[in-house]
Structure 1
């Protein structure tokens, strides 16, 4: 099923809204992180740098951090919560964007988590350590808390992949009575969980379907658009299982390209809504392009 995104409105402060059938979906730009080619795994840093510069992108690479607000029928649902107060003054803008849209933290009914890394989950708690969204149900894949709570699994993961242990456990403790865990499928009318393991064991995307329109909010399939579309074998040092993350990335790229499925991502450039195109890369290998709508 294909999807078209309609009715876009955009403001200069990092909010852009599209219609997906009966849903209104707003991207909330939390800010940008200055990255490093040393964060890339699967291709060497010099190769990554050449790819980034060939794509006309900056050095050092800039990584956008996004969250999404879904509204329909009086309900307000967040997909991820951004960095909160923990990543410095250039991030943590979600609260302000929600206020601009007239949505208070108390009005958030649910937060759908792609995974528990800090740039997605630290916004769930305030600087004082309280729940930022006190009335929200926190929805995630069941493999996510199972991993972060298991000392043996964490110890066996790559060292750079486990920096979020404190964040993950803080979130799970703080929202203990408000968790909903799933393995996939529909979690709310028109909103389905799509398992995307590899970046973390419980990493997932969220597929919105309304009538003939769909949008996949795919989480961290891509961190560096200038590199990973052209070189899908390029992973990140934060991947718990790099091979699985690569296989998932290729599967999601192929799905999005074949179905002309509209996608959005937490680290795609604002306004982040677009489509994937399958191309032919080096030595005939599959590569992909991405066009922002």
Structure 2
């Protein structure tokens, strides 16, 4: 296997108040994969994202980029943040310009790009999140979901290799969640590595290629989503239950309603399987 695009190696982090954000945490990211960072509140998910973006520096251990220890110089941090974009859970922490297009253009301007290149990137990023018509709108007039999409556009305008999102579905209604999921899938298909934090195991099981399971500041397991989500004991250590689709499928197989085999990745897919099996679900 090729060297990981990014990895944390045995990283620990102690905050100024003495609390531990991470304890000997190791995980890696490969190019173009969709990752869910799964864990309960306080498990260390946000701290992991802040280390991958260089906002925090390990107390012990290493951040490595393409096999090399990361250089925390100003040049190193500037390069990292041009390649690794972070979208905060609360968009008001990330937005500071008066107009939408001004906020999205901030990153490309700081890269020293020319005016035409910046305009092109801003337009493409706003198109990607469905906000092209809102370019001249004041940021303070936007809804919570629209603000989140502006934050994502601001990161996309940097054309990153890695997109980190902290609880991106929080505060979004169902249609907005569907739109955001489709956008993340398109980015991954273009080779962008996507890592999002969540405590929603049903979403993680449905969407992710791979899952990193967090508990008490450690990554306690990493692997393909179907494999990890089938390990009930592991999930319990991280304060998680099995995905609903997986649990229902197991019951239906036990009762002879469905044949044994790989479980569908969502309840909707499970209902389709029942329909095609000839079972009435009316």
**Is this a same-fold pair by TM over 0.5?**
no
Task: Give me the TM-score of the superposition, normalised by structure 2.
Answer: 0.35
Q: TM-score, normalised by structure 1?
A: 0.34
For CA contacts below 8 A with separation 6 or more, give which structure has more relative contact order: 2
Q: Greater share of strand residues, 1 or 2? A: 1
Please identify the structure whose Cα radius of gyration is greater. 2
